[in-house]
Amino acid sequence: MFSVLQVPTYRNLFAAQVIALLGTGLLTVALGLLAFDLAGGRAGAVLGTALTIKMLAYVFVAPVMAALVERLPKKAVLVGADLVRAGIAMTLPFIDQAWQIYILVFILQSASATFTPAFQSLIPVVLPKERDYTRALSLSRLAYDLESLLSPALAAALLTLMSYSNLFMGTMAGFLFSALMVVSARLPSVPVQANTGSVWHRTTLGSRIFIRDPSLRALLALNLVVAGGTALVLVNTVVYVRDIYAGSNAEVALALACFGAGSMVIALITPRLLERITDRSFMLAGAAVISAGMAAAVLVVLAEPPWAAMLAVWAFLGAGTSMINTPSARLLRRAATDATRPHLFTAQFSLSHACFILTYPVAGWVGAVAGQVSAAVVLAVLATLGTMAAIRLWPAEPAMEADGMSTLSGR
């Protein structure tokens, strides 16, 4: 899997991704502490609003920005977005009102909604062979999972030496380093093939391709499955651990680490597995794993099994999430042309985050009002319906030849 790091351009881009992720992790911790300083007991409301603004930027800004910047060189787009994010991070320590957080978070996340799809659409050009691209996807998934484990630990270590406001400087440094890595990378010279038509036509192009392609229609349903399992873990882990099991903050971190560990194990073995089975079989199996894990989460609330059982369920959910997320970009790569690739990756970025606008409130509000059993049941039903829809929308296809070896297309 690590052999793709021998490609200098990809190595630079991967370094940019990892450092930017660490900076974003520091930002998450620092933003929570800043919200508490500004709002005290209402810090949760401030953070909830900020997260909602983040999702809205991802869903609505990303397609518009993809249409507006498609005629610009990729390097200029990536570096420009990183510089905007670094500038916003630098201003965050100086704000003193909650509404200022909302404005700056919107600008920062709009820059991220520009950077991430453009970055993701560039990797298939840098690594044109499907086997190499699959390894890169596994490395990317591994980077996300490691960030979720390492960033809080790094933040905790730094907070013993400095105030939380200095963490924003770490975030700024991460984005500046990311920009430097992009500048130093020799990006492939791909002719700009801008689509004609109005901004609206170009903004909706990716979504219209999704609707036409059977595998991408199934991916829409699978995005809902992932959002259901992830929302349960990210929103309600603290409730399960502290309330149901009377655990400590350290045990909350342990439960989240088990979710990440399950995802990492699958990310490491995905390239080999996808040489033997189709993307369709692998991803639909992941959806079934998440649906079963959600049903097990209901039993965790009702029966309160041993603590190790809950950790196993969380690892199970992490594994299922990675089984869908890691190969998903392979479907986009196959459905794309040079002209439509940025729009397809942007559509996936936007549409996958739109699912969280549904599942985050279900996990939080239903859990608070009707109880954790109700929240887990509703999310389990959503995951099961998404799995059934994906099976129906994605017909199996025969084997094809790819990369000079007999394999199954999964499309």
pLDDT of residue 48: 61
What is the Cα–Cα distance from 151 to 121, expressed in whole angstroms?
26
> Does the structure show a pLDDT above 90 at 34?
no
Q: How confident is the model at residue 161, as a pLDDT? A: 81
pLDDT at 43: 61
pLDDT at 295: 94
Q: In angstroms, rounded to a whole number, what is the distance separating the alpha carbons of residues 79 and 14?
A: 15
pLDDT tens-place string over residues 46-78: 766 777 788 888 888 888 887 788 778 888 999
Q: pLDDT band for position 81 (50/70/90)?
A: very high
Q: Is the pLDDT of residue 290 over 90?
A: yes
Contacts of 275 by beta carbon, 8 Å cutoff, 6+ apart: 131, 405, 407
Give the model's confidence band at 407: pLDDT under 50 very low, under 70 low, under 90 confident, else very high.
very low
pLDDT digits (tens, 9 = 90+) for 88-108: 999 988 888 888 888 998 999
| Mean pLDDT to the nearest integer, 280-297 | 96
- pLDDT score of 408: 36
87: pLDDT strictly greater than 80: yes
Q: How are beta strands 405-407 and 400-402 bridged, if at all?
A: antiparallel
Instruction: Count the Cβ atoms, other than its own, within 10 Å of residue 366.
Output: 18
pLDDT of residue 401: 36
Q: Set out the domains of the chain in order of their start, with CATH numbers.
A: 1-183 (1.20.1250.20), 204-393 (1.20.1250.20)
The reported pTM is 0.77
pLDDT at 200: 62
Residues near 245 by beta carbon (within 8 Å), at least 6 away in sequence: 251, 304, 307, 310
What is the tens place of the pLDDT at every residue in 193-251? 555 555 566 667 778 888 888 999 999 999 999 999 998 988 888 888 888 888 876 78
Distance CA 315, CA 58 (A): 27
Residue 192 has pLDDT above 60, yes or no: no
H or E segment and range at residue 148:
helix 130-159
- Percent of the chain residues past pLDDT 90, beyond the cut: 29
- The pLDDT-based confidence of 85 (bands split at 50, 70, 90) is very high
- Picking from 62, 56, 331, 345, the residue whose alpha carbon sits closest to that of residue 219 is 331
Instruction: Give the pLDDT band of residue 288 (cuts 50, 70, 90).
Output: very high
pLDDT of residue 117: 85
| The two structure tokens encoding residue 170 | 């770490």
From start to end of 283-367, where are the E strands? none
Distance from C-alpha of 33 to C-alpha of 163, rounded to nearest angstrom: 10
* Distance, first Cα to last Cα, the chain: 23
Question: Across the chain, what does the average pLDDT equal?
Answer: 83
